[in-house]
Amino acid sequence: MVTRLVQDTVRMLQQQISPDADISLEREQSLLEEMASLLRAYELERSRKLAVLGCYGLLRLALARHRELAELDGKTLAKRILDGDYLTGVYFRFVLQCNERQLLTYLAPIHKKLQIGIVHGATANQTIAELFEAVKRYLDEQCKSGGDSDEAA
């Protein structure tokens, strides 16, 4: 079941985030469901699925925090900037900890392109779709399709 993969990923990521950062990922689970469904189509060890889903989730949240900046001011603005930067840093630490250097190398120019797109007014849907497609291309290039018949895989 996709829900278990998402819940396990969120739990794993939440452990990476300092309580002092005051960032909760529990309400962000729904943002990972589409990617988790996609990951079922690939023959990957569960640990790699958790890593890819975690990297996708961290980048997506960091980009979302930065994208929201145009609508904010004062303390909220500063908090969103710091949250986005912090989540990007957690992403880098997490991807290296999961030994997903190829994924890091693949997504680095895409991440920068998405950040630039945000500055130039890219919508939330455009940014999310582009990140999703980039991860899908990576999976298509690096992994064998085949799919899971159960959630444990």
Would you say residue 147 lies in a domain?
Answer: no
- 153: Cβ contacts below 8 Å, ≥ 6 apart: 44, 45, 46, 49
The Cβ of residue 12 has, within 10 Å, a number of other Cβ atoms equal to 18
Would you say residue 153 lies in a domain?
Answer: no
Would you say residue 9 lies in a domain?
Answer: yes
| pLDDT tens readout for residues 97-122 | 999 999 999 999 999 999 888 888 88
Q: Which pLDDT belongs to residue 149?
A: 43
Would you say residue 36 lies in a domain?
Answer: yes
Report d(CA 12, CA 138) in Å as an integer.
22
Would you say residue 149 lies in a domain?
Answer: no
Q: Which pLDDT belongs to residue 152?
A: 43
Indicate the number of domains in the chain.
1
- CA quadruple 119, 124, 129, 132: dihedral positive or negative? positive
Would you say residue 134 lies in a domain?
Answer: yes
Q: Taking phi first (over 0 means left), then psi (-120 to 50 degrees means alpha), and beta for anything else, what does residue 110 get?
A: alpha
Global pTM value: 0.76
Report d(CA 40, CA 103) in Å as an integer.
18
Strand partners, 145: 42
Q: Which pLDDT belongs to residue 105?
A: 95
Q: What value does the CA radius of gyration of the chain take, rounded to a whole number of Å?
A: 15
Would you say residue 150 lies in a domain?
Answer: no
Domain coverage including residue 79: 2-142
Q: Which pLDDT belongs to residue 76?
A: 80
Low-confidence ranges of the chain (pLDDT < 50): 149-153
Would you say residue 33 lies in a domain?
Answer: yes
